[in-house]
Amino acid sequence: MSDQTKYLLDESRIPKAWYNIQADLPVPAPPVLHPGTMQPVGPQDLAPLFPMTIIAQEVTTEREVEIPKEVRDIYRLWRPAPLYRAHRLEKALGTPAKIFYKYEGVSPAGSHKPNTAVPQAFYNAAEGVKRLTTETGAGQWGTSLSFAGNVFGLEVLVFQVRVSYDQKPYRRAVMETYGARCLPSPSTETEFGRSVLAQRPDHPGSLGIAISEAVELAAQRDDTKYALGSVLNHVLMHQTIIGLESMEQLHMANTEPDVVVGCTGGGSNFAGIAFPFIGQGLRGGKKARIVAVEPAACPSLTRGKYAYDFGDTGHMTPLTKMHTLGSTFTPPGFHAGGLRYHGMAPLVSHLRNLGLIEAVAYTQGECFSAGVLFARAEGIVPAPEANHAVKGAIEEALRCKREGRSETILFNLCGHGHFDMTAYQKYFSGELKDEAYDEKELAMALSGLPSVPAEYA
């Protein structure tokens, strides 16, 4: 049975609890600070933006947090997600390594993001919230929240980064199909949006600006809250369902991973596949190497500073300690839109700082050629973001070939690329350029980091 291709679990095997790595950390993560008082934030500071259940999940140190039945009932539409053994890719590479990938593209949105959109919508609806605001770049998170909001009867308002709004009309059409309202950001509906437009009427927008707009609206109305698709502790925890299922599926294949690979934008799909395995190692079980793969043009883990910073451009969010390129840093316009964020999840940053994970960066050209090799071997066209994980896994498999080792490699194929075919077209026509970020701009963004009291610095 050990050379099966597909490892499927029955619906009854959907995990009943998420895994919370905060229970197993050797050192707790640094506190989140209020930007006004510079003191750790309390639940009341976050209450205008999030429902209480989610605020509690943000700080809990309980190891297992129950997944509500209502959430599991929606997860059943696509979960448990399949785990594949990449036999044909192994053969194409001539590697003795065993490559496994967890495929999250089977969700309604085509990525891992509904894993957290569904519980977030559920908890908001359960606490009487009527409307959610959020931001989206390429549109994957906006699509996921629109889907989940519709399931639980919530209105959803999505601020979509202007360039994507103009260039990716299909994503917007999907959000509208689920009943959401989608606005280009910067917009005229918020004070912050109007201030950005006053300075530059043709502003292309950025995730940082769109976050500021969504937060501003949520803070103003009692019936409206905000939902974030990555970075925060509760989001990472909801995604651990990926790693928990993979663990069981690899067990069916009679193996355990030596290396776990994921791509990192804000860090959620990476955390989802990796945290259960890191936790196992922290509790004295088998330790796998854990590799985060990021774009060379937005390298927060490999080139950023580990420091307190804002999550948004308008400086409305609390300060978190994370690997950051600075909140004013604008990465060049590469195609993995989901990876164009200046910061990194505080928990992922903390683990990196503790030396529990490794990080590497690759250019988009290298990642697309890995993605094309993968598609030709395995049949699935990966999202541009997922190509980074594919590239990371291929590099590990080639190392195994050089060293003559038959290690087990697990990676997360976090989404399909069906809405990203323009990027593939550009790759084939040779128009896809590897744009480097501006070193001067990075230095400037880093020099503008907020200063915090010495005890937290």
Ligand X SMILES: *Cc1c(COP(=O)(O)O)cnc(C)c1O
Is 140 among the residues that bind ligand X (CB under 6 A)? yes
Residues in contact with ligand X, counted by CB under 6 A, come to a total of 20
Nearest to 203 by CA among 220, 180, 181, 186: 186
Q: Which of 414, 442, 445, 446 binds ligand X (CB under 6 A)?
A: 414
Closer by beta carbon to ligand X, 53 or else 264? 264
Is 265 among the residues that bind ligand X (CB under 6 A)? yes
Query: DSSP per residue over 58-83, as a string?
Result: HH---SEEEPPHHHHHHHTTTPSPPE
Q: Which of 267, 314, 318, 343 binds ligand X (CB under 6 A)?
A: 267
The three-point CA angle 422-427-431 to 5° equals 95
Is 214 among the residues that bind ligand X (CB under 6 A)? no
Is 148 among the residues that bind ligand X (CB under 6 A)? no
Is 119 among the residues that bind ligand X (CB under 6 A)? no
Is 245 among the residues that bind ligand X (CB under 6 A)? no
Is 230 among the residues that bind ligand X (CB under 6 A)? yes
Is 142 among the residues that bind ligand X (CB under 6 A)? no
CA distances from 341 to 18, 133, 210, 304 (A): 25, 19, 12, 12
The tokens describing 89, both together, are 């890719």
Tell me how far, at minimum, the Cβ of 229 lies from ligand X, in Å.
6
Is 269 among the residues that bind ligand X (CB under 6 A)? yes
CA distances from 323 to 3, 104, 451 (A): 40, 26, 15
Tell me how far, at minimum, the Cβ of 338 lies from ligand X, in Å.
3
Tabulate helix, strand, coil % of the chain (nearest 5): 45, 15, 40
Cβ neighbours of residue 344 under 8 Å, at least 6 residues apart? 231, 264, 266, 267, 300, 301, 304, 322, 323, 324, 352
Closer by beta carbon to ligand X, 125 or else 291? 291
Is 263 among the residues that bind ligand X (CB under 6 A)? yes
CA distances from 228 to 114, 116, 120, 409, 414 (A): 12, 9, 9, 30, 18
Is 415 among the residues that bind ligand X (CB under 6 A)? yes
Q: Tell me which stretch binds ligand X (CB under 6 A): 61-69, 159-167, 183-191, 258-266.
A: 258-266
Residues 332-371, one symbol each (x = binds ligand X by CB under 6 A, - = not), give ------xx--------------------------------
Closer by beta carbon to ligand X, 89 or else 235? 235
Q: Which of 385, 395, 396, 407 binds ligand X (CB under 6 A)?
A: 385
- Of the chain, the end-to-end C-alpha distance in Å amounts to 53
Q: Which of 206, 212, 268, 330 binds ligand X (CB under 6 A)?
A: 268
Query: DSSP per residue over 367-431, as a string?
Result: HHHHHHHHHHHHS--B-HHHHHHHHHHHHHHHHHHHHT---EEEEEE-BB-TT-HHHHHHHHTT-
Is 278 among the residues that bind ligand X (CB under 6 A)? no
Q: Which of 224, 246, 264, 317 binds ligand X (CB under 6 A)?
A: 264
Cβ neighbours of residue 411 under 8 Å, at least 6 residues apart? 99, 100, 101, 102, 260, 261, 262, 273, 389, 390, 392, 393
Tell me how far, at minimum, the Cβ of 39 lies from ligand X, in Å.
28
Closer by beta carbon to ligand X, 111 or else 133? 111
Q: Tell me which stretch binds ligand X (CB under 6 A): 261-269, 320-328, 357-365, 373-381.
A: 261-269
Which chain residues interact with ligand X by CB under 6 A?
Answer: 111, 113, 140-141, 230, 263-270, 338-339, 383, 385-386, 414-415
